[in-house]
Amino acid sequence: MSTQPFFQALQNTQLAISIGQSNHLYGVLAQMFHIAGLILILAPLLVVNLRLLGAGLTNQPVTYLVKATNPLIWTGFVFISLSGFFMFSPSAALYYPNPAFWLKFQLLGLALILQFTLYRKVTRTETPNRSLATLTALASLLLWFGVAIAGRAIGYVAA
Amino acid sequence: MTSRDFLQQLQDSTLGVALSESIYMYPLVEGLHLISLVFSFGLILLIDLRLIGLFLPKAPVSEILNKLRPWLSGGFLVTFSTGFLLVFVNGPSLVNTWVFPLKLLLIVFAGLNAIWFEYKFGRHAKQWNGQTPKGAKVAGWVSLTTWSLVIVCGRLIPYMNGH
């Protein structure tokens, strides 16, 4: 099954239809949780990446920052993915032709790959390779903020 | 002059018209208003969580305040200035409902709380000896709650005022 029929099929599922027919207040609530998730993911990542760049909380060990920020990021991830599904599924076919939507998920894919490879590697030690840490932090900030910006653009380039 | 007249004047001003007529300016300004929240509200949130004792309990509050302050202030500068521009674009419809006036009121309240915290506790944070004073914890809770409500009100504006 190619992507477009898949989007259409998702939109036609009972779950997506029920979400679409639910009270609009839930839609507003989903928007709130999406912003809360954005803050809970990006603010902790900002603090860790600044630290990798030698700014911000420079007196704290990187491993301690990562340990303390993980619960916030995971909470944010639950918020943002559930609320995202809630907003996306009832109008999946509408998102299909939207270039900002695709850009967002391409950037998200890259951001996640970086998160579980280089980011994990340089935040596991107190003495990572300086230039590798800098490169990772810059790429991480660029990609994650890119996801947010592309996400915001979805509403403006609506087809 | 009523607030409605004032907002109308802003909307009709050269800046207001220019912002409304450009295809790119409004999305850019609104995007920056959202993204800069990570620096302003996001870092405030982390500081509040530290004051409450839920985040980085082993890191001294004085250090967190000092090291994050420049990033936080930079964030607020962008959030406030883009918000100011958005008022020019949105005009009198902002006072169609209570939600925008309430947001402004909450911002003032959150600001006063921050000033009170800084004056009473923040500037002596080096002498806390690892114990967060009760009042500072209260300020953390107040800040967390108020700023969250500011975000909620902000997100409600397009729903309530018909944009």
Instruction: Report ipTM (2 d.p.).
Output: 0.92
Q: What is the pLDDT of residue B128?
A: 87
Question: What's the whole-number average pLDDT of chain A?
Answer: 94
Residues of A in contact with B30 (CB under 8 A): 152
Judged by CB atoms closer than 8 Å, whether chains meet at A152 and B55 is answered as no
> Is pLDDT at A53 greater than 60 in this prediction?
yes
Phi, psi of B151 (to 5 degrees): -65, -45
What's the rounded Cα separation, in Å, for the pair A80 and B37?
16
H or E stretch at B145: helix B134-160
What does pTM read for this prediction? 0.93
SS3 content of chain A, % helix, strand, coil (to 5): 80, 0, 20
Work out the pLDDT band at B126, boundaries 50, 70, 90.
confident
- CB atoms A47 and B43 under 8 Å: yes
Residue A115 pLDDT greater than 80, yes or no: yes
Whether the CB of B46 is below 8 Å from some CB of chain A: the reply is yes
pLDDT tens by residue, A122-134: 999 888 889 999 9
| Cα B130 to Cα B53: distance, rounded to the nearest angstrom | 11
Residue A76, C-beta contacts closer than 8 angstroms, at least 6 positions apart: A36, A37, A38, A39, A40, A41, A44
Interface contacts (A, B; CB < 8 Å): 79
Answer whether B46 sits within 8 Å of A47, measured CB to CB. yes
pLDDT for residue A1 is more than 70:
no
Asked if A156's CB is within 8 angstroms of B27's CB, the reply is yes
A153 → closest Cβ in B27, B49, B155: B27
CA angle A135, B78, A48 (to 5 degrees): 30
Residues 6+ apart with CB under 8 A from B70: none
Nearest to A56 among B35, B49, B71 (CB): B71
Question: Within 13 Å of residue B43, how many CA atoms lie on the same side as its CB?
Answer: 24
How far is it, in rounded angstroms, from Cα B12 to Cα B19? 11
Tokens 């939507």 — which residue?
A101
Question: Chain B contacts of A59, Cβ < 8 Å?
Answer: 59, 63, 67
Tell me how crowded residue A68 is: count the other CB atoms within 10 A of its CB. Answer: 22
Per the CB < 8 Å rule, is B38 touching A38?
yes
